[in-house]
């Protein structure tokens, strides 16, 4: 159970009396109210326990006694951004409203753009320069949200426990928060598209399952969405594209499709349960079956989980692209194999997982070969906001995260605190240093310990994990990681604000926690920069998102794709 709190990062004297009274009344009814006069105080409260709600003034000073500021530019809010990152890292379920003194709407837009780029959990921005009656309306909105949204926190904790999903590292907390937000119920529009990338055995399947549970838990009015997990490397038994199309998009007249290798035989083997036949008829992208007793009904909505989607057969990539482009709710359809012109509605969320360096597989559609990914499909997936996510591996998170996961799993299985012998701890430390301890290794250790019936974790419990195939891998490259030498090239070939802007974008691309620069480039200037980058043979380009902020994107030229 998560303890509910409100953290108000506001000066007592500066907070409007009406807000104080209403927030204190809410605190008496359902939560604890904490008032902090500076960010240093706020961070002390943040570390003390789980925070459910935060009303944050970005214009407050770092320390007590300093004057608050009016915000004209995000750089003024450096202490506010730092505090917000820390609060959200320590409290992954926090829900934040921003209240501050903004000079104008342009300042609000700039701050909002920065917050969105950093993936911080902001629900609303309020301007304290508004009139008192407007502030009253904002307070009413905030209190109503506090009273209406408490059930989601318990659902999240229960979901973690049900899935055995251990969230101990800031990278994991950030991923959990983004997936939870992406699963927000939608009355209209497409269901989410998520791409999860990570090393082998990083736990991508667990996160995909968690996202499906988030979808189910966050919308109590929606029937539970079943999950179709499809290893695209085995679609159609590695046979014809038509067989892969059957598995992915369904088949109406399956008796007439026996020539599609392996499909009819599998359908016959499962005919007594009548499951696989219905799944073939419906297909993963059209919604998989939902069981009720002995009856099998079609699920109008589902989660299609495509494993190693980089291996998707070339015949299916265009079909998947069509589904993604037309996934606008009830209007999207897909035609299954043998359908005779009939189409099935598409109402599914799509989760794609891979451990491959997808960027090196992207080619133009007219150059498509087995094992390659269509460039237009790749670009469509990259358009999804917060949809292209890295699953952190234990090797990347470090030994502290490994021990936290291991200790959590041992205590949960033994239903008591488990002690690790010092010599065993040193052995585990060495395995972490070599990158040989992943989620599978932890599960192997826990299984050996439980079977032994011992009271302490000892070296013999770790040996089975040491016998697993080594998983020492290079770090998985971020989607837009620049090529080697790019920084030096910028410093030599560019000058002035172009050089400073590109260096800032480079820093943000390599480390998302580094704040992105606010650039005032025109489209013409950005075009000139891209032209020079292309002339230098660097497969990167400056792009501008809808919110008005620039970012670096990797482009796939003939040289970089081999096309």
pLDDT per residue as tens digits for the range 156-211: 556 666 666 667 676 777 787 778 778 776 655 666 788 898 877 677 888 888 88
The rounded distance, in Å, linking the Cα atoms of 307 and 227 is: 12
Closest CA to 92 of 152, 51, 36: 51
379 and 496 inside one domain: no
Query: What pLDDT sits at residue 5?
Result: 61
211 and 343 inside one domain: yes
Please give the residue that has the higher pLDDT: either 236 or 49: 49
Residue 65's CB is within 10 A of a number of other CB atoms, namely 7
pLDDT band at 529 (very low <50, low <70, confident <90, very high): confident
Whether the per-residue pLDDT at 467 is higher than 80: the answer is: no
Domain limits for position 118: 5-149
| Domain CATH number, residue 297 | 3.40.50.300
Asked if residue 271 is part of any domain, the answer here is yes
Asked if residue 471 is part of any domain, the answer here is no
pTM score > 0.75 for this model?
Answer: no
Please give the residue that has the higher pLDDT: either 479 or 468: 468
Closest CA to 385 of 116, 155, 132: 116
pLDDT band at 291 (very low <50, low <70, confident <90, very high): very low
- Final residue belonging to a domain, choices 390, 425, 450: 390
379 and 402 inside one domain: no
Asked if residue 57 is part of any domain, the answer here is yes
265 and 145 inside one domain: no
401 and 374 inside one domain: no
Asked if residue 503 is part of any domain, the answer here is yes
59: tokens are 């214009």
Q: Are strands 95-100 and 540-544 parallel, antiparallel or unpaired?
A: unpaired
207: tokens are 């996160």
Angle at the Cα of 325 (from 324 to 331), degrees rounded to 5?
90
Query: 496-510 and 523-535 helices cross at what angle (nearest 10)?
Result: 70
The rounded distance, in Å, linking the Cα atoms of 362 and 25 is: 57
- Final residue belonging to a domain, choices 149, 173, 189: 149
42: tokens are 């706020």
117 and 173 inside one domain: no
365 and 415 inside one domain: no
300: tokens are 């109008």
Query: 459-466 and 439-452 helices cross at what angle (nearest 10)?
Result: 140
Whether the per-residue pLDDT at 293 is higher than 70: the answer is: no
- Final residue belonging to a domain, choices 149, 183, 213: 149
Asked if residue 477 is part of any domain, the answer here is no
pLDDT band at 474 (very low <50, low <70, confident <90, very high): very low
Whether the per-residue pLDDT at 478 is higher than 50: the answer is: no
* Domain count along the chain: 4
E strand spans, 120-188: 122-127
The DSSP code for 71 is B
Whether the per-residue pLDDT at 398 is higher than 50: the answer is: yes
11 touches 59 (CB < 8 A): no
Asked if residue 480 is part of any domain, the answer here is no
Please give the residue that has the higher pLDDT: either 97 or 350: 350
192 and 337 inside one domain: yes
326 and 454 inside one domain: no
């Amino acid at each position: 159970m998560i303890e509910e709190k409100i953290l108000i990062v506001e000066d007592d004297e500066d907070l409007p009396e009406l807000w104080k009274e209403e927030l204190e009344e809410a605190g008496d009814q359902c939560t604890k109210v904490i008032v902090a006069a500076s960010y240093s105080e706020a961070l002390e409260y943040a570390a003390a326990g789980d925070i459910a709600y935060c009303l944050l003034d970005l214009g407050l000073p770092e320390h007590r006694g300093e004057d608050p500021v009016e915000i004209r530019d995000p750089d003024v809010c450096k202490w506010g951004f730092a505090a917000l990152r820390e609060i959200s890292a320590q409290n992954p379920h926090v829900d934040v409203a921003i209240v501050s003194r903004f000079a104008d709407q342009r300042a609000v837009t700039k701050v909002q753009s920065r917050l969105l780029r950093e993936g911080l959990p902001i629900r609303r921005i309020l301007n304290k320069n508004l009139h008192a009656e407007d502030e009253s309306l904002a307070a009413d909105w905030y209190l109503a949200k506090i009273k209406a949204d408490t059930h989601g926190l318990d659902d999240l904790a229960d979901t973690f426990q049900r899935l055995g999903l251990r969230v101990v590292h800031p990278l994991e907390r950030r991923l959990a928060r983004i997936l939870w937000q992406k699963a927000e119920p939608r009355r209209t529009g497409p269901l989410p598209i998520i791409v999860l990338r990570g090393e082998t055995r990083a736990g991508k399947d667990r996160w995909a399952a968690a996202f499906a549970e988030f979808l189910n838990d966050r919308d109590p009015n929606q029937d539970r969405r079943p999950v179709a997990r499809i290893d695209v490397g085995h679609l159609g038994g590695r046979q014809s594209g038509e067989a892969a199309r059957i598995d992915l998009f369904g088949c109406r007249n399956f008796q007439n499709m026996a020539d599609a290798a392996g499909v009819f035989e599998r359908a016959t083997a499962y005919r007594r349960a009548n499951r696989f036949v219905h799944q073939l008829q419906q297909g993963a992208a059209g919604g998989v079956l939902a069981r009720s007793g002995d009856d099998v009904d079609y699920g109008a909505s589902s989660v299609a989980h495509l494993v190693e989607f980089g291996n998707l057969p070339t015949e299916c990539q265009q079909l998947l692209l069509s589904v993604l482009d037309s996934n606008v709710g009830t209007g999207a359809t897909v035609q299954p194999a043998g359908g005779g012109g009939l189409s099935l509605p598409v109402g599914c969320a799509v989760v794609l997982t891979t451990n491959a360096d997808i960027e090196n597989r992207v080619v133009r559609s007219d150059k498509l070969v087995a094992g390659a990914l269509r460039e237009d499909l790749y670009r469509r997936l990259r358009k999804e906001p917060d949809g292209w996510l890295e699953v952190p591996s234990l090797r990347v998170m470090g030994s502290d995260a490994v021990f936290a996961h291991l200790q959590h799993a041992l205590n949960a299985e033994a239903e008591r605190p488990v002690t690790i012998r010092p010599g065993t701890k040193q052995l585990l430390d060495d395995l972490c240093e070599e990158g040989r301890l992943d989620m599978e290794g932890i599960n192997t250790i826990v299984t050996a310990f439980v079977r032994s019936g011992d009271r302490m974790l000892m070296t013999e419990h770790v040996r089975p994990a040491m016998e697993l195939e080594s998983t020492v891998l290079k770090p998985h490259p971020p989607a837009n990681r620049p090529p080697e030498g790019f920084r030096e090239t910028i410093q030599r070939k560019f000058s002035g604000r172009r050089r400073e802007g590109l260096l800032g974008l480079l820093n943000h691309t390599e480390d998302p926690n580094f704040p992105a620069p606010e650039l005032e480039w025109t489209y013409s200037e950005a075009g000139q920069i891209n032209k020079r980058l292309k002339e230098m043979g660097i497969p990167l380009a400056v792009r501008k998102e809808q919110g008005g902020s620039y970012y670096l994107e990797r482009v796939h030229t003939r040289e970089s794709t081999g096309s």
